[in-house]
Structure 1
Amino acid sequence: MKKIVILSDTHIPVRAKQLPDILLKACEEADLILHAGDWQTLDVYFELSAYAETIGVAGNVDPWEIIDRFGKKKILAVDDVKIGITHGDGTGKTTEQRALAAFTDDDVDLVIFGHSHIPVMKELNGVTLFNPGSPTDKRRQIQYSFGMLEIGETWKLEHIFFDKEE
């Protein structure tokens, strides 16, 4: 069974000074970490990479060194699950529609995106759309969140919701 932590919109150090402990504990058990953009600093990448292989894309507020390192779209296969990652920013349409449209010509099972900070998990046309929300900037959401994907003979995807640490 592979454990994959999914996150987006960390916005460090603008929205938070550090990643929350609940997220870091999940990273300790992760085989892979996926980040859907708006890191804001490469320090987040280096911190996550200390736990597990970290793959991601750049978001709309990321500096050039993040855009240059990660690009705006990725497709990877983990066992039999084909995963597309994008941030979801742009003009026209909704964030979900832009994320799905980024992979129109690709045969993916799962599209991971961010940008809105709104946790989403739904299926459209046989593709699961997943926004993990944000572990550091919940905006108008009730709780902070990130995602967990477990891949074995089948795959299971869920949000991990939590309150701000004291």
Structure 2
Amino acid sequence: MKVLIVSDTHGKHRSLDRALEEAGEFDMFIHLGDVEGGEEYINAVIDCEKHMVRGNNDFFSELPQEEEFYIGKYRVFITHGHNYYVSLDTECLREEGRSRNVDIVMFGHTHRPFLEQSDGVTLLNPGSISYPRQEGRKGSYMIMEIDDKGKIKYRECYLE
């Protein structure tokens, strides 16, 4: 299974289109907030299972604030992250993941890619494809792949 994970597109469809083209075929799409009105566009151009949450800039969105679901055998919690103070530290969000007994916590908000695995919980942030803040300032997204044996591999990707 191949999962495309994005965040903080801020209504910039050109950046999203580039990520979709670069990623190739995938089985699931996850958007971690700050869609800024792009829900209809995403629903029109992506034809697979989708999970999207609202971010701090999605003022009038009807997207859920958080969601929990399974990807294969892995329990996943997605949130934009601003309510867990991720701009300061990820410990509050890690604790939330532990309390929910999830394997993977995905968040956005910081516009910086992040991947950390400890204490049985994986925290990941794909960064932003529209307004990156990490060194080099290239738009970023993540690909998560689960092989036939259930092993996960994560890949940070940068727009060319």
TM-score range, shorter chain: 0.7 to 0.9
Deviation at 1:5, TM superposition (A): 0.1
Deviation at 1:73, TM superposition (A): 1.2
TM-score, normalized by length of structure 1?
A: 0.82
Query: Per-residue displacement from partner, 1:108-128 (whole Å, max 9, x unpaired)?
Result: 111110000010001132111
Classify the secondary structure of the residue corresponding to 1:19. helix
Quote the Cα distance in structure 2 between the aligned partners of 1:136 and 1:92.
Answer: 21
Q: Which moved more, 1:121-130 or 1:137-146?
A: 137-146
Match of 1:158 in 2: 155
Runs of 5+ unmatched residues, structure 1: none
Pick closer, same or farther for the CA change 1:34–1:95 going to 2, 3 Å. farther
Deviation at 1:102, TM superposition (A): 3.3
Quote the Cα distance in structure 1 between the aligned partners of 2:68 and 2:154.
Answer: 18
- 1:145 aligned residue (136, 140, 148): 140
Q: Which moved more, 1:149-158 or 1:25-34?
A: 25-34
- 1:53 aligned residue (46, 49, 54): 49
Match of 1:72 in 2: 65
Match of 1:99 in 2: 93
Deviation at 1:156, TM superposition (A): 0.8
Match of 1:34 in 2: 30
TM-align CA RMSD: 2.1
Number of matched pairs: 155
TM-score, normalized by length of structure 2?
A: 0.85
Pick closer, same or farther for the CA change 1:97–1:44 going to 2, 3 Å. farther
The structure 1 segments of at least 4 consecutive aligned residues displaced by more than 4 Å after TM superposition are: none
